[in-house]
Amino acid sequence: MKPSRIYLDYAATTPIHPEVWKVMGEVALNVSGNPSSIHAEGRLARTVIEESRKTICKSLNASLSELFFTSCGTESNNTILIGAVRDLGVTRIISSPLEHHCILHALDHIARHHPVEVVYLPVQPTGQPDLEVLAEELKRSEGTKTLVSLMQVNNEIGTTIDLQEYGQLCHDHGALFHSDTVQAVGYTRYDLDRMPIDFMAGSAHKFYGPKGVGFMYIRNDHTLQPLLYGGSQERNMRSGTENIAGIAAMAKALEMACDTLDERSSHMMARRSQLLEGLKKVIPGLTVNGPPMESCSPKILSVNVPEGPRTDLLLMNLDIAGVSASGGSACSSGVESASHVLRHLPVRDGDKTVRFSFSPQTTAEEIDRVIDIMASLTSTTAQVLSSTKD
């Protein structure tokens, strides 16, 4: 029997969980009103949205007035960055060159169209933004309205930052702190009421919810204007008829993710270690991007395979062999140059970078198969190919 495919690209997106799909289907079929209508159908739709808001706020320990539904992480991050400049008078933004393009391209836009200085911190070889340089930059920023925007989990290499540490430093210097938490929501516990965070973003498709729905957190102290104008939904923060089924599904997905967070994390950590140890044994010279396990997301493993006669089309060959992985971020996959993240890391010229990302359902047998396939695809002799048949 032909073995089934092995999907190891959960950082790009996750499949919808069957329980989440059930909720989404029920709402899509049975809740047909417009939440802005005052009749019974409208009121039912409004109730579904507000119950979903309560569920998500409970998971994050945020107030109901601090959560706004959007269409995705990109929209949330753009609304926050552009709003901070336009509505809060921010004239200096400190960020990192390893952020997702929805931050970097928004910052390019801001720098082109507003009198704002954008500063990019140097990063450690592990991908973490340099904390000492951040402290110096924050001292330099005193007296200037400043926003720091740093992602919690890097989507390409899994590097994490301690939000408490970075956020506190920003607040100690009077700066606002925003984190693109798209890869972390559903995998981290938050206590937003007590954390030094002003803004954050989430996206349901990263935690087994549907695509096309997300949220933004805006601390009560701040009032931003919307990016979209129209019907004044979401307390005038996001016009457009709400994606009711998507919102209900996102709430269910986050609730389930939080309920099982610890066991899912340790499962993925075990699969990550298994893959790393296995790959190190079969691929001489293999290196890892990102910090040691403790500071890395358990769901992401990014490795560099030394250049060899057969590594040129490694990702494509993995795909043909039935393994879905990624080279850089999903958005830039297919492009043969090193991604904007890898260009800032100590990756050897010619190395092929592969990002594997795991789910709580990834099995030890699947990982063993991926190790065998990687061995056969990168070996310079035919020997490994035959030994994997045993």
Residues making contact with ligand PLP (CB under 6 A): 72-74, 100, 102, 151, 155, 180, 182-183, 203, 214
| Residues catalogued as catalytic | 331
Residue number with CB closer to ligand PLP (200 or 371): 200
C-beta of 74 vs 304, nearer to ligand PLP: 74
Residue nearest to ligand PLP (CB): 73
35 vs 158, beta carbon nearer ligand PLP: 158
Give the type of residue at 21: W
Q: Which is nearer to ligand PLP, 45 or 93 (CB)?
A: 93
DSSP structure string for 331-377: GGTT--SPPTTGGGS-PPTTPEEEEEE--TT--HHHHHHHHHHHHHH
**Closest to ligand PLP by CB, 73 or 279:** 73
Distances (CA, A) of 331 to 10, 200, 317, 340: 14, 21, 20, 12
How many CB atoms lie under 10 A from the CB of residue 217? 26
Cβ 72 to ligand PLP, closest distance in Å?
3
d(CA 95, CA 101): 12
Asked if residue 248 lies in contact with residue 50, where contact means CB atoms within 8 angstroms, the answer is: no
- Report how far apart, in Å, the C-alpha atoms of 317 and of each of 108, 310, 320, 321, 350 are: 36, 9, 5, 6, 17
Least Å from the CB of residue 48 to ligand PLP? 21
In the chain, the amino acid numbered 77 is: N
Nearest of 189, 268, 263, 179 to residue 217 by alpha carbon: 179
Count of C-beta atoms within a 10 Å radius of residue 321: 17
Shortest distance, position 182 Cβ to ligand PLP, whole Å: 4
As measured in angstroms, the least distance from the Cβ of 312 to ligand PLP is 26
CB of 214 to ligand PLP, least distance (A): 5
